Amino acid sequence: MKRSNFLKVVTILLTVGVTACSSRVETQGTQRSGATIFEGARLITGDGSAPIENSAFIVENTRFTRVGRKGDVQVPAGAARVDLTGKTVMPTKVDLHGHIGFQHVYDGTMAKEYYTRENLIDHLERLAYHGIGAVVSIADLVERADLHGGRHKWGDVPLQVRNEIIPGAALFKTAGPGIAWPNSGAQGHPSRADVPYPVTTVEEAREATRDYIKMKPEFIKIWVDDRNGTRQRLTPPLYRVIVEEAKKANIPVAAHNVTLADAKELMRLGVEGWLHPPVRGGEDPDDEFLAMIKDRKARNDRPNMWFNDSGGVAAVGPDAWKDPLLTETISAAQIQEHYGEFLKNLTPEAVERARQNARKSGVVAKKLIAAGMKLVLGSDTGQTRFFVGWYPQLLFESWVTMGFTPMEAIVFATRDGADIAKVNTGVVAPGRNADFVVLDANPLENIANSRRITRVFLRGQEVDRARLRAKWEAEWSRKSQ
């Protein structure tokens, strides 16, 4: 081949290659191009700083790029404009303790057969509707060793969905199936009871943890609870080997725990998370336990320690249960079935008792925070009566009944939750995913105003809440026929 012809061929091949690569980048890259400036809202950024009045923020290619006051932010040429005058904007929340995928929300029934990609996405859309941008789900249905030489063929739906960015749906992360003593793990509906690895010996605990690690979960969940003396709890020799194996793989461990003695041993071992308060059942964290937290922080020994706690739904009071955010997403039949008796008995005296208990819980939670732990949102949403989306909203509000300010509650549920879950959301700041909620009223004045959602944006795209409402209402209608 002549040199001139050879060069022509090379040039053509390079051109085709560059074109093909450019096409792949556009296909695999961001969801949309261009810039949009949102102006005029009171902006709560999620980092605890004072709100920005008459704010402006720019979204480009799914992320925030500039944030400040209206008039001070340089606007890209050709940017679209959205007027949010009179509104309040806050980041979307993160829930680190979901149990989603098993339930048909429209009728409240649960089954392993319901754990499909379609149903999981329905739950993620419900979370998005409520202003929740990401969730870490626990006790998820995923194929695992049966510890007798075989495997439970449950599929890999959660492992697949965690790698997807689904328009209009919360980001999904999984903590896998969990590990527990047989029948002392996930409670509630029987469909969930055998999902965790059931271990009774050190050998089983080691095998289960090594199999679990292959899933690369967000954390390894363990249950250390005798269920008020009705079950056997996971014993120290078992959870020691679980934490040991998890450390080798550099995967955090999060515990459902009850007693102070177990909490101290788990803290010594390096457990990072608690899916409820670290100590319950009539005991409180003592000075030794608080000193252990401080010591780990000082030594930088797995210092990102966190826990879930709330003031309880009764402390929020009865008016919340008439809110459109609930009635637009859950059928009246479901509300009556699960909360009819509860609401009948929710007298002013009952609410006051609940608030007194919430304030006591708040005193303990503040000690844990002062020692170095983070309080983050964890709602148990998705199992039976813990309505998807609505339950985390109520528990978020209940932090104020515990004695926290609305601003503190927002930071716990947004920035701090995102940091623990390792998702790029939770703060309105350059470089973060453009995940935010537009409210008709200021939640800093009344935390219940966080229910007054008018629009939700995930990764810069508006969630079609009207479409979701119509879908759910159609499901109720079919069920009632």
Q: Tell me, letter by letter, the H, E, C secondary structure of 386-397.
A: CCCCHHHHHHHH
Q: How confident is the model at residue 462 (pLDDT cuts 50, 70, 90)?
A: very high
Lowest-confidence segment of 24-33, 89-98, 260-269, 419-428 by average pLDDT: 24-33
Q: How confident is the model at residue 353 (pLDDT cuts 50, 70, 90)?
A: very high
Give the model's pLDDT for residue 1. 44
Q: Strand 55-60 relative to strand 35-39: parallel, antiparallel, unpaired? A: antiparallel
Look at residue 70 and tell me if it is in a domain: no
Q: How confident is the model at residue 300 (pLDDT cuts 50, 70, 90)?
A: very high
Q: Which domain holds residue 310?
A: 93-424
Dihedral (C-alpha) 341, 346, 349, 353: value to the nearest 10 degrees? 100
Give the model's pLDDT for residue 478. 80
The alpha carbons of the chain give a radius of gyration, in whole angstroms, of: 24
Look at residue 156 and tell me if it is in a domain: yes
> Is the pLDDT at 6 greater than 60, yes or no?
no
Give the model's pLDDT for residue 31. 41
Give the model's pLDDT for residue 80. 97
Q: What does pTM read for this prediction?
A: 0.92
* Distance (Å) of CA 440 to CA 75, 80, 410, 454: 25, 22, 16, 6
> Is the pLDDT at 306 greater than 50, yes or no?
yes
> Is the pLDDT at 449 greater than 80, yes or no?
yes
- In the chain, how many domains are there? 1
Residue type present at position 258:
V
CATH of the domain at 280: 3.20.20.140
For residue range 271-292, what is the model confidence (pLDDT) as tens digits? 999 999 999 999 999 999 999 9
* Distance (Å) of CA 450 to CA 40, 53, 211: 18, 17, 41
Look at residue 304 and tell me if it is in a domain: yes
> 3-state secondary structure string, the chain?
CCHHHHHHHHHHHHHHHHHHHHHHHHHHCCCCCCEEEEECCEECCCCCCCCECCEEEEEECCEEEEEEECCCCCCCCCCEEEECCCCEEEECEEEEEECCCCEECCCCEECHHHCCHHHHHHHHHHHHHCCEEEEEECCCCCCEECCCCCEECCCCHHHHHCCCCCCCCCEEEECCCCEECCCCCCCCCHHHCCCCEECCCHHHHHHHHHHHHCCCCCCEEEEECCCCCCCCCCCHHHHHHHHHHHHHCCCCEEEEECCHHHHHHHHHHCCCEECCCCCCCCCCCCHHHHHHHHHHHHHCCCCCCEECCCCCHHHHCCHHHHCHHHHCCCCHHHHHHHHHHHHHCCCHHHHHHHHHHHHHHHHHHHHHHHHCCEECCCCCECCCCCCCCHHHHHHHHHHHHCCCCHHHHHHHHHHHHHHHHCCCCCCCCCCCECCEEEECCCCCCCHHHHHCEEEEEECCEECCHHHHHHHHHHHHHHHHC
Look at residue 455 and tell me if it is in a domain: no
Token readout for 35 is 């810039």
> Is the pLDDT at 30 greater than 80, yes or no?
no
> Is the pLDDT at 396 greater than 70, yes or no?
yes
What mean pLDDT is predicted for residues 172-189?
95
For residue range 116-139, what is the model confidence (pLDDT) as tens digits? 999 999 999 999 999 999 999 999
What mean pLDDT is predicted for residues 130-154?
98
* 400 contacts 383 by C-beta, under 8 angstroms: no
Q: How confident is the model at residue 25 (pLDDT cuts 50, 70, 90)?
A: very low
Look at residue 449 and tell me if it is in a domain: no
Q: How confident is the model at residue 219 (pLDDT cuts 50, 70, 90)?
A: very high
Look at residue 21 and tell me if it is in a domain: no
Give the model's pLDDT for residue 480. 67
Q: What is the mean pLDDT of the chain?
A: 92
> Is the pLDDT at 115 greater than 70, yes or no?
yes
Give the model's pLDDT for residue 383. 87
Give the model's pLDDT for residue 479. 72
> Is the pLDDT at 231 greater than 50, yes or no?
yes
* Distance (Å) of CA 68 to CA 45, 55, 198: 10, 6, 52
> Is the pLDDT at 234 greater than 70, yes or no?
yes
Residue 406: how many CB atoms within 10 A of its CB?
A: 21
> Is the pLDDT at 14 greater than 80, yes or no?
no
Look at residue 232 and tell me if it is in a domain: yes
What mean pLDDT is predicted for residues 129-157?
98
> Is the pLDDT at 319 greater than 70, yes or no?
yes
Look at residue 443 and tell me if it is in a domain: no
> Is the pLDDT at 9 greater than 90, yes or no?
no
